[in-house]
Chain A
Amino acid sequence: MAEQIPSKIWVMRPKASATQIRIRPGDLVDDVRDEILRKYGNSLGKTFDSPDLTLRIQASEETQNKQRTRTLGPEEDIIKTLNAYYPSGQTVKEALVIEIPRNSTTPKPSPRAPAPYSGSASATYYAEDGRPSETSEGYFPTVTGNTSSPRLAMAVPTQSSGSIPHSMTVISSGQLPPIPSPGGTRRHYRSRHSHSRTHSSSSEHIVSHSSSLPKSPGHEITSSARMGTPPPQRLSSPRLPSSRPNKKGKRSQQQQQQDYHHTPTPSILTATVPPINVLIVEDNPINLKLLEAFVKRLKVRWDTAMNGSDAVKKWRHGGFHLVLMDIQLPGMNGLEATREIRRLERLNNIGVSTAPDGIPETTPTEELTEQDRLRDIDKFKSPVIIVALTASSLQSDRHEALASGCNDFLTKPVNFVWLERKVMEWGCMQALIDFEGWRMWKELSAKAESIAAANKRALAFKNKTKKNRPIMSAS
């Protein structure tokens, strides 16, 4: 069998589709878990340490004498185990099922947590370069020596541990890791925290625009945009509080996983989102309708486009601060549309006073043609923020989106809490860039609001008094 060459095995999340990961001869289940965290760098890697995961194997029909399903121990040789279960090779249907701790709020060691004994045989393979490292944030920094096995790190807590950095998003999600971290990692947590963005457990920001504003106070803009983000508040809908917590009953693993990001931060559907103008680009009418309903609730202005060229056309009218861009679109796709928008922005010198010096700019040769000229150039205060909506959680797809000129991304199905944060964060930033415009809009809308409120009140107390008192508190 495949004793000599690296081979692949199938793994899957419960109810999700299976995927293959690479293993090497002699790899233990423990090593497989590390590899899984790489593969699921986003959904699991940011929240879990590899010892948190357990793997379940299901016996095929031909091996009835074994237990039908069981959990693999971390010390088992994966190839041998698989060969024993599936003598004719593992098929996709026999994918190992990845399980995550069921109750993530109670910090207790998983009963199947690996015993902290030394397993040096498996400890050094990360130092080899045979494996692709897709994770840009370096969940698994190239660590030489034997710190790369989580098991070892637990056994030798005094070592400076480079092995569990991916657990640090725990801080931002407000959840405790199910397994106590080894001593010495706390400091590590902090330092890693600086580039895990508090507000986006879902994805990473590439704040190319703020970093490309060296002359205007780019950093202040970013930081105040972040500071301007108020702490999570209660949702205005009255039935949510009762529906959200206390749902620790029977749930599938997957739901738990999603709740993981979902519950700790109740939505913030208040009027605190800046009055920006959002372009929603989405080809599926159902999804479009939902996104529309959502931004409507955020009380921002919006428009829609159902394909890439339509999106570019609408963007050319000007006035948009944020684009929510579906990637796979019929005809011109989202990436092409993004590239086109960026090309036109470049040609029309939008935001050029705050020139992009972070971006390697090598094509000033292109001339601005009449066709490419934006008519209402005043309406383009700064490059538009494009948030890609990707169906896949593959890191490579995200990199492609960022490379095309997107600023950020969200994975579909879009979690509304995250979406709101994105609108909020990027919206705050844009509002600060266009501060004058924003202030005017704000004054106008405050006036309109107070008039509306006053009218309402006047109506309600019509019988008592006709006095129409302006409500100044409306902000």
Chain B
Amino acid sequence: MALPDDKELESILGDGVDLTTFKQILEMDEPGDNEFSTSIVFGFFEQAEETFERMDVALDEKDLEKLSELGHFLKGSSATLGLIKVRDGCEKIQRYGKQENLDGSPEPDADVCLARVKEALMAVKSDYEEVEIGLKKFYDKDDEDEDGA
């Protein structure tokens, strides 16, 4: 399938995806299929959902360190895919988990941090769902294109 143009991509994927970065991954596909990018993207879905679950557990256990670590972990892959909103949300969790404010200054109150993580986690989950829908739509559409062709 040919790469859809940016406008089309943007309308499908929404503003939570940085097209330049995401297209890098599409360009790794062999001409004619997007097996590779599909495996990356759906692998990410799996990883994200798993990480969110682990974040929920860590939140229950008030384990800020773990939360920070998980935030960093998911930040890495979301950044790689260009999922900028998810990336930013993860960065927040990483920071709050480290008991820092967003500008890097220390925040000694652990309860404040936990509350912030909780809030950020909720936001990042909904940002994630949004891009998940967009990406799934994108790959569904491709299948249709191929069927039609």
Chain A residues packing against B (C-beta within 8 Å)? 15-20, 92, 235, 237-240, 242-243, 247, 249-252, 254-255, 258-259, 262, 267, 283-287, 289-290, 293-294, 297, 326, 328, 330, 391, 412-416
Contact = CB atoms under 8 A, between A and B. Distances in A.
18 contacts: A15-B88, A239-B27, A240-B27, A243-B27, A249-B7, A251-B6, A254-B18, A258-B18, A258-B20, A258-B21, A284-B76, A284-B80, A286-B47, A289-B43, A391-B79, A412-B76, A413-B79, A416-B27
Interface size class on chain B is 35 or more
A297 B25 CA distance: 13
B122 interface: no
Contacts of B10: 250-251
Contacts of B84: 15-16, 254
Nearest to A263: B20
Contacts of A297: 28
A-B pairs with lowest CB-CB distance, top 4: A286-B77, A258-B20, A243-B3, A284-B76
Chain B CB within 10 Å, residue with most, of A249, A283, A391? A391
B27 A17 contact: no
Nearest to A326: B76
Nearest to A248: B6
Given A242-B3, A284-B73, 19 more contacts: A16-B84, A18-B102, A92-B103, A237-B31, A239-B2, A243-B27, A247-B5, A247-B6, A254-B84, A255-B18, A255-B20, A258-B18, A284-B76, A284-B77, A286-B76, A286-B77, A287-B77, A330-B69, A413-B82
Contacts of A290: 25, 28, 40, 80
Contacts of A252: 15, 18
Contacts of A287: 76-77, 80
Given A247-B6, A283-B73, A286-B43, A414 B80 contact: yes
Interface string B35-46: 010011001100
Given A284-B77, A412-B79, A413-B21, A289 B7 contact: no
B88 A17 contact: yes
A250 B43 contact: no
Contacts of A247: 5-6
B103 A19 contact: yes
Contacts, number: 108
A11 B91 CA distance: 17
Nearest to A18: B102
Nearest to B84: A15
Contacts of B23: 243
A391 B69 CA distance: 14
Contact of B3 (A17, A239, A293, A413): A239
A249 B18 CA distance: 15
Contacts of B36: 293
A391 B76 contact: yes
Contacts of A16: 84, 88
Given A15-B15, A258-B21, A285-B43, A238 B31 contact: yes
B5 to A, nearest CB: 7
Contacts of A284: 47, 73, 76-77, 80
Contact of B7 (A242, A250, A258): A250
Contacts of B28: 290, 293-294, 297
A401 to B, nearest CB: 16
Chain A CB within 10 Å, residue with most, of B6, B31, B81? B6
Given A17-B102, A239-B2, A250-B10, A286 B80 contact: yes
Interface in B1-30: 2-3, 5-7, 10, 15, 18-21, 23-25, 27-28
A249 to B, nearest CB: 6
Contacts of B43: 285-286, 289
Nearest to B89: A17
B74 to A, nearest CB: 8
B20 to A, nearest CB: 4
Nearest to B24: A416
Contacts of B81: 286, 413
